[in-house]
Amino acid sequence: MITTDFLPGSPCWVDLGAPDPQAASDFYRAVLGWRTRSAGPDAGGYAFFTSEDRTVAALGPLTEEGARSAWTVHFCVPDAEATAAAVEKAGGAVRVAPMDVMGLGVLAHFTDPQGGRFAVWQSQDFAGFDAADTPGALDWVELWTTDSAGARAFYDAVFGWSFQDTELPGGGGTYTLLTPAGAGEERMHGGMMQMAAADLALTQGDADWHPVFQTEDCAAASAAVAPAGGRVLMGPEDAPGVGRLAVCTDPAGADFVLLQPRPE
C-alpha cells in the first residue's frame, strides 16, 4: 500500500512531462476528474493535479531534449547525494544531478541499467502528494523491464527493497512485489515484471516505470480515454486478487494504468 508517511524508498511523488500541458490537463480531467493548479509564476509552467482538493500528482512541460512524454515516479530518500553515488556504483546513470528545488527539497533523476527512468526526492519543506491509495490518486507503481534479475540487483543496491515473487495465473510469468527496506508486506508499493524488448515499444525496449491510478469505476474511466484523445492498450479486464484494470496512454503517448481495486 502506498501511503503519505513516505518511508525511505517508497513512492512520494509522480509527475508528467508533456509537450502540451493544457491538452494533458484536459485529458486527465476527463478521465480521472483531476483539476489543475499552477505551482506559481516562478515554477516554469509546473502545475499540480488535484483530486477533491488534495494534490495527487503534477504536470510540466518536457525539459529534456528528445525525451518522450512520460510519467516519472519519485521515491523518497534521506540523502539524494548518497543515492546518486549508489546509482552510479550499481551501474545506473545520473540524468539530473541532485539539486535544490526552491528550498522545498532536493531532486535528482536517474536511469537504471535497463534504461528505466525514475527520480528521487529528499524532502525539506515539501514531503510529497497529499493522498494515495484512494480514488483519483496513486495506488501502485510498476516496472516493466527486459532483465528482472538485473533490475532487482540494482534497486536492492540503491534502495534496499525487499522482493517477493509470485506466479501470474495461466503461465503469465513471474511478478515481483516491491516493499521498502525493513517494512512489512502491508507497505508493498509496487511490482516488477520481465518483458521482451518487443513488448516495450513505447520506450523502444527500455525499461518502463509507470503509475497505477485508482478509480472507482475502471470501465467508465477507460471509456473516457479514447474520446479524450488517448488509447486503451489493454482491458478493462479482471486481474485475480487485484481488481479490474486497463493499460492506457494519454494523447502524447504517456502510459499509465487505471485500477478499480477488488472489494475487501
What does the alpha-carbon distance between residue 89 and residue 133 come to, in Å, rounded to a whole number? 33
End-to-end Cα, the chain, rounded Å: 14
Residue 105: the pLDDT is 96
DSSP summary character for residue 223 = H
Residue 66: the pLDDT is 73
Selection from 81, 87, 86 nearest residue 105 by Cα: 81
Residue 39: the pLDDT is 86
Give 138's contacts (C-beta < 8 A, 6+ positions apart): 2, 11, 14, 56, 57, 129, 132, 211, 212, 213, 214
Which class would CATH give 11-123? alpha beta
Residue 262 has pLDDT above 90, yes or no: no
Residue 14: the pLDDT is 98
CATH architecture of the domain formed by 138-261: Roll (3.10)
Residue 42: the pLDDT is 80
Residue 180: the pLDDT is 97
What are 102-149's pLDDT values in tens digits?
A: 999 999 999 999 999 999 999 999 999 999 999 999 999 999 999 999
Most confident range (mean pLDDT) of 51-65, 80-94, 227-241 is 80-94
The x, y and z cell numbers of residue 109, run together, are: 533523476
Position 263 confidence tier, pLDDT thresholds 50, 70, 90? confident
Residue 171 has pLDDT above 80, yes or no: no
Would you kindly state where each structural domain of the chain is located, as residue ranges? Answer: 11-123, 138-261
Residue 172: the pLDDT is 73
Mean pLDDT of 198-206: 93
> Does residue 112 sit in helix, strand or coil?
coil
Selection from 58, 219, 71, 50 nearest residue 136 by Cα: 50
Residue 5: the pLDDT is 94
What does the alpha-carbon distance between residue 192 and residue 159 come to, in Å, rounded to a whole number? 15
What does the alpha-carbon distance between residue 31 and residue 250 come to, in Å, rounded to a whole number? 10
> Does residue 130 sit in helix, strand or coil?
coil
Position 231 confidence tier, pLDDT thresholds 50, 70, 90? very high
Residue 260 has pLDDT above 90, yes or no: yes
Position 63 confidence tier, pLDDT thresholds 50, 70, 90? confident
Give 41's contacts (C-beta < 8 A, 6+ positions apart): none
Identity of the residue numbered 238: D
Domain 11-123 and domain 138-261, same fold? Reply is yes
| Cis bond before residue 180 (omega within 30° of 0) | no
Mean pLDDT of 54-80: 92
Query: What pTM was estimated for this model as a whole?
Result: 0.96
